[in-house]
Amino acid sequence: MTKTRKFWALAVCACAIAYRAQAADERQQYIADDISVTIRNKPSNDAESVGAVKSGARVTVLESLGADSFAHIRTADGRDGWITARFLSDQPAAKEQLVLLRQQLDQAHSQAQSLQRDLDAAQQQLAKARPALEMAGENDKLRATIAQREQQVGAFEQQFDAEKARRETLLTGGILVGCGMLLGLLLPWMGSRKKRHSDF
């Protein structure tokens, strides 16, 4: 093999390895908390803005310069750019999780109501059938059905209470995170303002 062919073979291998390394670094993450993050054309706060993404938006991380630096991302609509890496999170924003929990809670509540209706119907059926029932086996069967329905209603009520408590905890956590973010934004501003006053 000539030197030229060896060179081109090595160049192709190097390109393939670089492409695989870049593909391995790509992963799905979310914009954290209730904010709007500026996308810049370079990894610098002074770089030109090319748009913004809101919290809850899913982005693909193409490259990261570190948690305290910048990350190269691609948005769902195909825009590429750099954002501050600290705004990325492996989990959706708290408000998105809260919506999901509310949906699960509503579903559990609906199932509990449906079971309660079934229980009421079974009790009415037993009340209507009681005078005509001559066999103890039929009574036992209906009682077993009612007992089963009561257990199911109790289980769904417990699930409903647990989901409600979980939603309240998540809501409290979201409020605390929001307050923390607000303080994180205000303290540097107040410090710089204080410094400007002290310079005078």
pLDDT, tens only, 157-172? 888 888 888 888 877 8
Number of domains in the chain: 2
Element (H, E) at 38: strand 36-40
Q: Using a cut of 0.85, tell me whether the model's pTM lies above it.
A: no
**79, 110 Cβ separation under 8 angstroms:** no
The pLDDT score that the predictor gives to residue 124 is 82
Has residue 61 got a pLDDT over 90? yes
The pLDDT score that the predictor gives to residue 62 is 93
Residues 74, 139 within the same domain:
no
pLDDT in tens, 104-140: 878 888 888 888 888 888 888 877 776 665 666 777 7
pLDDT in tens, 80-93: 999 988 888 777 66
Residues 143, 192 within the same domain:
yes
**Full residue range of the structural domain in which residue 101 is found:** 94-199
User: Residue 79: phi, psi to the nearest 5?
Assistant: -80, 140
pLDDT range class, residue 48, cuts 50, 70, 90: very high
Q: Is 139 exposed, middle or buried (0-12, 13-18, 19+ CB in 10 A)?
A: middle
Residues 133, 177 within the same domain:
yes
pLDDT in tens, 4-47: 666 566 655 555 565 554 544 577 776 555 578 889 999 988 99
Task: Report yes or no on 185 lying in a domain.
Answer: yes
Residues 186, 112 within the same domain:
yes
User: In the listed set 34, 63, 89, which residue is the last one of a domain according to the structure?
Assistant: 89
The pLDDT score that the predictor gives to residue 80 is 92
**60, 27 Cβ separation under 8 angstroms:** yes
Residues 99, 56 within the same domain:
no
Q: What is the mean pLDDT of residues 72-78?
A: 91
Q: What angle in degrees, to the nearest 10, is found between the helix axes of 94-129 and 136-199?
A: 160
Element (H, E) at 16: helix 3-25
Residues 100, 168 within the same domain:
yes
Q: Tokens in use for 10?
A: 């090595």
Task: Report yes or no on 18 lying in a domain.
Answer: no
Task: Report yes or no on 17 lying in a domain.
Answer: no
User: Residue 133: phi, psi to the nearest 5?
Assistant: -75, 125
Q: What is the mean pLDDT of residues 147-155?
A: 85
Residues 40, 72 within the same domain:
yes
Residues 70, 116 within the same domain:
no
User: In the listed set 74, 89, 104, which residue is the last one of a domain according to the structure?
Assistant: 89
Q: Which residue has the tokens 């036992």?
A: 140
User: In the listed set 71, 89, 107, which residue is the last one of a domain according to the structure?
Assistant: 89
Q: Which residue has the tokens 């769902």?
A: 76
Residues 31, 82 within the same domain:
yes
Helix (H, G, I), strand (E, B) or coil at 68: coil
Task: Report yes or no on 125 lying in a domain.
Answer: yes
